[in-house]
Structure 1
Amino acid sequence: MKTYKQEVKNHSRDIIWKHSIDNLTSNREDSKILNSKYINRLWDFAFEDHILKYKIAEKVNEKYLNDWNSFSVQTYSNKKADQLKVAYLCGPEPQNDLDHLINLGIRIENVYAFESEKRAYNQALNSLKDSYPTLKIFNGKIDHYLKSTFVKFDIVYLDFTASLFSRDSKPFKTIITLFENQSLSNLSSLIVNTCYPDKTDENIDFLTSYFHYQAFYDYQIYDSSEKDEKGRFMEDNFSAGIIEKDEFKPYVSKNFEYAYSAFQTNFIINYSNHILPITNVLKNPLLLKRLFTMDSKTILKEIEKFEQNESIYLCPTNYSLFHFFNEIIKGDSKISRSWKNFISKNDYNGYSMEMAVKFFYMQLNAPSEGFMEILSDEMKKSIPEIMANIPDSIRNESRGLFCDVPMIHLWQELAINQLGYPYHHNTKAHKRFSYTAKERKMCVDIFTFDQCRSLYDWLPMIEYYGEDLKILERQILTRICIDAIAKHSLHILENQYFGAHIVCVNDRSWSKNHYFDIRENLK
């Protein structure tokens, strides 16, 4: 019988469960991206230091902030450990994790365990007869359970035995199922544990394709030397004079483990922030017609125009997922063929994940690049109304009112996220580490996700965006929330509310840039 009682494995469980439970209970307020401390500070900064100071308005109505704070409290609510629902892949020894959970205050009635392999499932059942006979263990894939039930989990622990981009892409398909079925709570923790893949040519090529077009990536991919003090992220390859993908491949090969580590963290949040909301909209005709034209001929024509747009190739770091998917589709390795089927399948109302990525970039660039025909009449009407009431055109000493002047794409992204239900990641609350329990080295990420519904559910219908955001307090409060989300994505995801900052990064002690710590290796 396989056993998972190694000391380092047990130590990883200590970290995983305590960190996740603390983030959702005692540290719950700090785990919110839209936490009241930051929102209230930024409100004072916006109005006292700028709007009132420069007489954009004579007074400010605090009732809007008070109302938002009240709604935020209702949206999240406080939770104790015994209220948290937990799901995990249990293997043949479910008591290993269950001991930790019970000791940390989780009720066994709120724990759901899954094991797909029949022999391991029977071993799990036998092991619990005398200790935890009331644990709910399901013999099957967690994916199937998530598709057919409506339970929302506060914590999900996916302990895989393969890498995230294994040839059948099963680990990532499980993660997608979790997100697509909205199986995580509004404020939640997702733990992903995978093994580092073998350092093969095709795996090196896969990671090279992913990071080559990134606007920023973990600096250790470029230089893993411990003596380096340049920071924890690298600006794009093109700025460093690395033009061709083959020029970048030796860096990925040399620092292969760092590259996989960065991929696991980055691709999951790329999906939860960017791909998930646009696919949620595309697969639902009711939502699709709110944001885009329903004329498929017009859509296909605009997509063709998008693919021929020279800015995609002149500024490739603004379109990294587009180029990554293109590389996969052109590739002929086993991993490329597997992922090609995965991203090209028309699962979203006749659209594929690849098509969704194009929609994502098109909606961010519609006004500037001429793709306005894809937008619905409601969007075409609301956006100019919003822009007509932006106070940032009033300047002081040749500067804008705030750090960034909001551009049109912000309101399109806001509308997508209001209807598409993304899971935004809290970078400050993130934890990642690695360990070697047996032969294989394992890679662990503990994500804290916030759906930020205290913003998105607080907004009016898209038709009323223009009228609603004429109210200065509501417009500024909306922008404050967008600023908070953007602070967790700067130098991590390109185009996540890009240019949305009211207070500049590091301008105040409380407005610092957030970035991931270097992955710790447990001994």
Structure 2
Amino acid sequence: MEIKMKEYYKYNQYTKQKVRHKAIFKAIESLTYNREQSCCVERNYVRKIYDYFTLSEDISQNKKEAKKIDISYIKNWEKLHDSYVGVKKPEDLIVCFLCGPEPNNDFRELINLGILPQNIWAFESNNQVYKKAIAAYEQGEYPQPRIIKQNVETFFQQTPKKFDVIYIDACGSIPSTQHALRCVSTLFQNHRLNSPGVIITNFAMPNTTKENIVDYYEVVSQYLFFKKYPSAKIEVNKNGIINEKYFEFLNDVKNNFELYYGEFISAVLRDIPAVIMPLERIALNPYINQLIDLTEICITDEELINMSEENSIAKYFFMINLLLKKELLSEKSKCFLNEIGNYDALLKGLKIIILLRKGKIQLKKDVQEIKEYFETNKKIYQFLDKPHSNLFFDIIINQLAYPMHNNVQYSERFRYIAKTNCMYTDVTIYDECRYIYEWLPGLHQIESSFENISWQYVFRFALDGLVKMRQNYNNEFFFQGSIVSNTVKGFSSKKLKERILIN
């Protein structure tokens, strides 16, 4: 892969410097002084729900149930949370960035914020640019970054090094033959980001003089349409998608492309680690054979599209696959499919998830019995959402698939103009939330753990925090588990901040 480096005349532009400073400062601050806020579920969240119910003056069943919790379980969960989140100072963070001929621009920002020079890695694969970067430092000069003459994607694939902050300032558009988005997919595919961790990306608006903007309209409108209308009934004819709402949305994207392109970037940066990569892992993990009978089920693309109601990513990719087979897909859409890892594995993973959700796939006998436990056991108290087999599958799949969830509340996004080109910078905070997934034991122990009220309720209270973080953006798995209503102050669903225009 070759990420063509930055257009260097932009490097010392005031707005570029301002955005760089804001982005790097936000990343370092999020992982040090505000580290607790960077978690999708904060350490005190379980205790907050416990207090909300037990300190209420109202006499309710919720209060009675919450009082059954042995406080030692809440303390143990907080200790588990501490063990995964920990405490870090700036000098503890490890950072990598794309080098270019002037590495000192990013390097100085990092060391001024307390990052140790020894913990900074810079990457450059272009031989001439690499020589300029090396020449930027005089012999014996210190400090200077560790500059590696290798493509950063290859490094992610071959070297088992993890980072706290990864800065991908490729400045190309996505998707494109520069493969900047594939670099993001590769780093998540190979677990190169610590948790919590931050990725700073900088992408450009498509260059209308060099690229077909109509193809970008297609990619952006199709991806975001299913986000907005996951239940829309879609048909495909010889000209492509047939749906009146889609045509209206496509026209809106054309008229407001700067806005929607930025939303597309942020959506993809959320979906790759939280849904797309985990689904690819599910499909390739032989453990799935312990859950279901993978005997091939004869089902058409049209049937899969219709079954994917409320699952925006499944509906999008099944629709794209149908358009691909009918040779109705643009080159940019094909390019996008090549940027997100193992496309065949993704389709297989999506198919498994949809068929599981619809009860159209044969479960192994022992798994079927556990599923029935969640669906028929009246002893499991409801709170807000009734515990359903969806909750069980969410636990099991995410324990093994290792999603990285986006902290939408504290991530930040910027837009600025470099010369005449519109640029989009996203500072995205990610969290594996292992303090939730590791709380419960393995497949055949789930039922036993739910029989322990304290164990079960602590898990469900913690899960409520993750539900509130992802429900507006990543509900593509099985998604169930709210304990407290969104209308209650302090427990509402989280919203992504608007993108800030930097002048």
Tell me the residue number matched to 2:274. Answer: 273
| Kept after mapping to 1: 8 A contact 2:31/2:38 | yes
| Kept after mapping to 2: 8 A contact 1:169/1:338 | no
Asked if residue 442 in structure 1 is aligned to residue 418 in structure 2, the reply is no
Cα distance change on mapping 1:21 and 1:318 into 2, 3 Å: closer
Asked if residue 158 in structure 1 is aligned to residue 172 in structure 2, the reply is no
Asked if residue 143 in structure 1 is aligned to residue 144 in structure 2, the reply is no
User: Which one of 195, 204, 207 corresponds to residue 204 of structure 2?
Assistant: 195
Larger mean Cα displacement after TM superposition, 491-500 or 314-323 = 314-323
CA distance in structure 2 between the partners assigned to 1:169 and 1:354 by the alignment: 24
CA distance in structure 1 between the partners assigned to 2:313 and 2:118 by the alignment: 47
Tell me the residue number matched to 2:193. Answer: 184
Aligned partner of residue 181 in structure 2, secondary structure: helix
Tell me the residue number matched to 2:237. Answer: none
| Kept after mapping to 1: 8 A contact 2:45/2:462 | no
CA distance in structure 2 between the partners assigned to 1:450 and 1:465 by the alignment: 23
Larger mean Cα displacement after TM superposition, 401-410 or 5-14 = 401-410
Tell me the residue number matched to 2:47. Answer: 40
Cα distance change on mapping 1:291 and 1:439 into 2, 3 Å: farther
Tell me the residue number matched to 2:297. Answer: 301
CA distance in structure 2 between the partners assigned to 1:390 and 1:39 by the alignment: 24
User: Which one of 349, 356, 364 corresponds to residue 349 of structure 2?
Assistant: 356
Tell me the residue number matched to 1:222. Answer: none
Tell me the residue number matched to 1:17. Answer: 24
Unaligned runs of 5+ in 2: 1-6, 234-242
Aligned partner of residue 494 in structure 2, secondary structure: coil
Cα distance change on mapping 1:382 and 1:73 into 2, 3 Å: same
| Kept after mapping to 1: 8 A contact 2:311/2:476 | no
CA distance in structure 1 between the partners assigned to 2:442 and 2:280 by the alignment: 20
CA shift, 1:272, in A, is 1.3
CA distance in structure 2 between the partners assigned to 1:154 and 1:388 by the alignment: 44
Tell me the residue number matched to 1:229. Answer: none
Tell me the residue number matched to 1:219. Answer: none
Aligned partner of residue 436 in structure 1, secondary structure: strand
Aligned partner of residue 430 in structure 2, secondary structure: strand
Tell me the residue number matched to 2:289. Answer: 289
Cα distance change on mapping 1:309 and 1:111 into 2, 3 Å: closer
Cα distance change on mapping 1:96 and 1:481 into 2, 3 Å: same
CA distance in structure 1 between the partners assigned to 2:266 and 2:485 by the alignment: 25
CA distance in structure 1 between the partners assigned to 2:66 and 2:437 by the alignment: 26
TM-score, reference length from structure 1: 0.84
The letter for the 2-side match of 1:312 is M
The letter for the 1-side match of 2:440 is L
Tell me the residue number matched to 1:510. Answer: 490
| Kept after mapping to 2: 8 A contact 1:385/1:467 | no
Cα distance change on mapping 1:310 and 1:197 into 2, 3 Å: closer
| Kept after mapping to 1: 8 A contact 2:463/2:481 | yes
TM-score, reference length from structure 2: 0.87
Cα distance change on mapping 1:376 and 1:264 into 2, 3 Å: farther
Tell me the residue number matched to 2:221. Answer: 208
State how 1:368-447 maps to structure 2 within 5 Å.
369-373=358-362, 375-389=363-377, 391=379, 401-447=382-428
Tell me the residue number matched to 1:250. Answer: 251
| Kept after mapping to 2: 8 A contact 1:20/1:189 | yes
CA distance in structure 2 between the partners assigned to 1:175 and 1:378 by the alignment: 38
CA distance in structure 1 between the partners assigned to 2:305 and 2:102 by the alignment: 55
| Kept after mapping to 1: 8 A contact 2:314/2:350 | no
Tell me the residue number matched to 1:521. Answer: 501
Larger mean Cα displacement after TM superposition, 496-505 or 479-488 = 496-505
State how 1:37-186 maps to structure 2 within 5 Å.
37-46=44-53, 55-56=64-65, 59-129=68-138, 131-132=141-142, 134-166=144-176, 168=177, 170-186=179-195
CA distance in structure 2 between the partners assigned to 1:196 and 1:379 by the alignment: 48
The letter for the 1-side match of 2:346 is M
CA distance in structure 2 between the partners assigned to 1:328 and 1:91 by the alignment: 39
The letter for the 2-side match of 1:251 is D
Asked if residue 321 in structure 1 is aligned to residue 316 in structure 2, the reply is yes
| Kept after mapping to 1: 8 A contact 2:201/2:426 | yes
CA distance in structure 2 between the partners assigned to 1:384 and 1:127 by the alignment: 65
Tell me the residue number matched to 1:226. Answer: none
Cα distance change on mapping 1:497 and 1:31 into 2, 3 Å: farther
| Kept after mapping to 2: 8 A contact 1:189/1:449 | yes
CA shift, 1:288, in A, is 2.8
Asked if residue 493 in structure 1 is aligned to residue 474 in structure 2, the reply is yes
The letter for the 1-side match of 2:292 is F
Aligned length: 478
CA shift, 1:410, in A, is 2.0
CA distance in structure 2 between the partners assigned to 1:320 and 1:354 by the alignment: 11
CA shift, 1:236, in A, is 7.7
User: Which one of 288, 307, 310 corresponds to residue 312 of structure 1?
Assistant: 307
The one-character-per-residue Cα deviations of 1:187-244 (angstroms, maximum 9, x if unpaired) are 100111100124611111111111222246xxxxxxxxxxxxxxxxxx9878xxx744
CA shift, 1:305, in A, is 6.7
CA shift, 1:403, in A, is 2.5
The letter for the 1-side match of 2:157 is K
Tell me the residue number matched to 2:3. Answer: none
CA shift, 1:356, in A, is 2.4
Unaligned runs of 5+ in 1: 217-234, 394-400
Root mean square deviation, CA, Å: 2.7
Tell me the residue number matched to 2:330. Answer: 333
CA shift, 1:29, in A, is 0.8
Aligned partner of residue 427 in structure 2, secondary structure: strand
| Kept after mapping to 1: 8 A contact 2:284/2:345 | no
- Identity of counterpart residues, as a percentage? 26
CA distance in structure 2 between the partners assigned to 1:57 and 1:342 by the alignment: 46
CA distance in structure 2 between the partners assigned to 1:418 and 1:116 by the alignment: 36
CA distance in structure 2 between the partners assigned to 1:96 and 1:310 by the alignment: 48
Aligned partner of residue 282 in structure 2, secondary structure: helix
